[in-house]
Amino acid sequence: MAAAGGALACGATIGWSSPAQAELTGENDYGITFSTNEYAWIGSLMTLGAATVCLPVGVLITIIGPKWTMMFMVIPFEIGWALMIFAQNQIMMYIARFLTGMAGGAFCVCAPMYCTEISQKEVRGIIGSFFQLLITTGVLYGFAVGAFTKAFWFSIICALPPLVFAIVFIFCPDSPVFLVRKGKLEPAIKSMEWLRGKDVDFSAELNEIKANHAEMKENPVNLGNALCRKVTLKAFGLSVSLMVLQQFSGINAVIFYSSSIFQSTTSNLEPRFGTIIIGVMLVVATVVSLFIIDRYGRVPLLLLSSVFQVISVACLSLYFFLKESDEKSVENLGWLPLLSICIYILLFSVGFGPVPWVFMAEVFPDDIKGIAGSLSATTNWACAFIVTQVFPVLNDAIGGGACFAIFAIISAVGGVYIFFFIPETKGKTFAEIQAELAGEN
């Protein structure tokens, strides 16, 4: 939970743009007003910052480990929020969003990696999912605070989670996997004692970590060759495909622009309360996923998520098609967008929300985990940038009905792909996962 605290800060950054949109596109205390197209950059620059930092962070993890990489990322987080709080023009706000996006994107690489490295295989899924739980909690935090505060105070309150994370996480140990890789056996033992308890026999687990590291030392390869291994390329292709499907299912379009989506419906519900309901759905569904990801596995949850995403987004698309053709035809259907979005959020958070990040942390070998994981995360955030930048413009050009129809089609194609190509990793050791990716029995 402490390691995933940075994810809460990232979630608050994601959640910031929706409540702030109404204020910053109209009259506000900053005296800085954005057009619709200009505000699209407020949403998308956060994801662009996240995309650009993932690869450098992968190198940093290899050098100083996931713990201190996360601690270091608190600095750009706080600089970004300071720029947002004291912004004098649009450029300062753009830079602020880029910096907070960089810090948030770094946590998306480090937190799942750290969590899977410190956990036993029996609970690896639930521990890895804490990252997604804290992201969704951060989004709810942003939606709830933003609904009742002005952008200035909203930004101050969003600057607090990174500081709380740093104060708590400083007392947590380094990853034993990283310590063994650096030849620090005594600190690795102390880390395992801290994590498991002094009365627990963790020798078999530690020996497996040491054996994996010894095998890598006996068979050293350069980074280029390691990344080009057949099993690594397959793992990378599968991980990247899940990241692309996650983002092009439309999740960040819904979260970043939920207020404007609700404003365009005929519902009597205030947009700010609609976004809070979405935030609650995110958290509730992610809590549910914690208890079922290690029971039912990764693939069943992805398939369940895909089916209901198709149904809910198709209903949302139908609503906007009807509204665009005849506004009177949806006068009694104001409840449909909220219901569709709630179902979409619930089932996304059970499967497509946490699983791609857990899967990413499970399938890459230790010698290239930092770089390969960073490349996967870069893909995720690059796709998020495209969606958040293009959605408001495309929505104005072709309408909400066509936009959400595209998301529904992508979710349907994704479900078919997952059924035939994504392997199950639940309850398997790293060696078993690698053997399965290599096509061995």
**What is the torsional sign of CA 161, 162, 163, 167?**
positive
83: confidence class by pLDDT, cuts 50, 70, 90: very high
Give me the CATH number covering residue 86: 1.20.1250.20
302: confidence class by pLDDT, cuts 50, 70, 90: very high
Same domain, 103 and 141: yes
CA R_g for the chain: 22
Percentage with pLDDT > 90 across the chain: 30
The predicted pLDDT at position 409 comes to 95
Reading the block at residue 324, the tokens are 């665009």
- 10: Cβ contacts below 8 Å, ≥ 6 apart: 103, 104, 105, 107, 108, 135, 138
Contact 129, 289 (CB under 8 A): yes
* Residue 396 CB coordination number (10 Å): 12
In a domain, residue 43? The reply is yes
Same domain, 198 and 159: no
Mean pLDDT of the 61-76 span: 91
Same domain, 205 and 276: no
Top pLDDT among 300 and 129 is at 300
Q: What is the pTM of this model?
A: 0.76
Same domain, 302 and 406: yes
If one counts the domains in the chain, the total is: 2
Q: What separation in angstroms does the CA of 215 have from each of 187, 208, 212, 407?
A: 21, 11, 5, 44
- 263: Cβ contacts below 8 Å, ≥ 6 apart: 271
Top pLDDT among 99 and 33 is at 99
Instruction: Express each pLDDT in 91-109 by its tens digit.
Output: 999 999 999 999 998 888 8
User: Is pLDDT of 217 > 90?
Assistant: no
In a domain, residue 179? The reply is no
Same domain, 238 and 316: yes
User: Is pLDDT of 116 > 60?
Assistant: yes
In a domain, residue 424? The reply is yes
Q: What separation in angstroms does the CA of 392 have from each of 254, 348, 399?
A: 11, 21, 10
Q: Which domain holds residue 74?
A: 5-172+222-366+368-437
Instruction: Express each pLDDT in 372-420 by its tens digit.
Output: 888 888 898 899 888 888 887 888 888 888 989 999 999 999 999 999 9
Instruction: Express each pLDDT in 5-21 by its tens digit.
Output: 888 999 999 889 888 88
